[in-house]
A and B are shown apart, each in its own frame.
Chain A
């Protein structure tokens, strides 16, 4: 008797689960699409996104880099190369060269933290596919000219 009861119970439950399953998928079928056609449509990146570093651009001033070399010494992967010049004897240095080798960067963010003048920040770059290993070396000063002002 117990077996017979279970037999019919299983059929009823199974049938109900079929109806439930159909209602779930048909519901999803009529809901709007949530993906975008990527190369044609691009989403706004989240402000918290951590791409490779870039020079901070606030208002329309120049960059803040003083070529002190703190980031170079702090970098655990030895990724950063910085050079600066003094415009006249006795004045402070100004950075003229800032290269990072992104292929070895681990995005730890120590350079951003240690920078005494807040000259570095994370970019929102995510399209980083390239053909050659040298393409992963990014010249931040060249990039700085095309950067948008972001607070």
Chain B
């Protein structure tokens, strides 16, 4: 044990030296990361509560009412339960892959939050390739799911993972094509720039087709009902996360709800003008728009039955992608003629 520092300026010096070597940017990133982790958790809890309440009221029942005011603490209690549950690894599973899979699914989510502009200034890193960063890291999600299904040594997990991969490959294309139409109009991949370009009219007016395609495809991308083929509870038990318990399962859950927030945030940024809006501050407007989109996605879960696998594929390749391509070409033509 070394003696404690006696120099009164030790911490100041330490701070200065550390700042010199790693720069203030890292401190911003550190604080941002902590804020993101906090927000991801709170967002997931709120969305679980909201989803169960909406499900209940659609079925004309009050949903959970026992823990806290109107069951407000139920998601927290569920989280506590998941925290103390035993982490089981099935025999025959690939232990290493099985352990890293939840991390591979969850970590890209945190990266995507870095560039989301919660308001004009409230963004961890305002980088120029924000949209590209979100799309590329969201694509990593698939790798995690495939690893999870592969490592579980369980036929249901594997089938779920395979379905997830083919579904994500199919639906990534219409998402990118519809987002591309917006990027062509703004000439920027910076999310704040895209929002600034919408100072007069939201892009949902100029690009209604792209907005609809984006919303449908992003619902599929986050594996939400009616496109929840990878975890179809009726056929596959729970799909790729059948064998996961405790916090490993919770990480998949966190990732799913955070992904929902990310695609809703992207929709708000691309088509609903992000933090733009009168009177209220930008943060409030942004969250209002995001949770409106999330609400639409949640209600879809309690409205439509799950699609069959071939219907899912047909829908993407035969309808969404041709329309997205058409929209892209049309946008290009208009920009060339008008702009």
Contacts and interface: CB of A to CB of B under 8 A. Distances in A.
Nearest to B61: A35
Contact of A29 (B57, B62, B65, B319): B57
Contacts of B303: 21-22, 24-25
A34 interface: yes
Nearest to A31: B60
A33 B62 contact: yes
Contacts, number: 35
A91 interface: no
Interface in A25-47: 25-26, 28-29, 31-35, 37
B299 A35 contact: no
Contacts of A24: 303
Contacts of B61: 33-35
A26 B299 CA distance: 8
Interface residues of A, number: 16
Contacts of A18: 304
A10 B25 CA distance: 53
Nearest to A30: B57
A24 B60 CA distance: 13
Given A11-B319, A37-B65, A25 B302 contact: yes
B88 interface: no
B58 A25 contact: yes
B183 interface: no
Contacts of A7: 318
Given A33-B57, A35-B60, A37-B65, A22 B299 contact: yes
Instruction: Output the residue of A24, A25, A35 with the most chain B CB within 10 A.
Output: A25
Interface of A: 7, 11, 18, 21-22, 24-26, 28-29, 31-35, 37
Given A28-B57, A29-B57, A29-B58, 11 more contacts: A7-B318, A11-B319, A21-B303, A22-B299, A25-B303, A28-B60, A29-B54, A29-B299, A31-B60, A33-B61, A37-B62
30 contacts: A7-B318, A11-B319, A18-B304, A21-B304, A22-B299, A22-B300, A22-B303, A24-B303, A25-B58, A25-B299, A25-B302, A26-B299, A28-B58, A28-B60, A29-B57, A29-B58, A29-B299, A31-B60, A32-B60, A33-B57, A33-B60, A33-B61, A33-B62, A34-B60, A34-B61, A35-B60, A35-B61, A35-B62, A37-B62, A37-B65
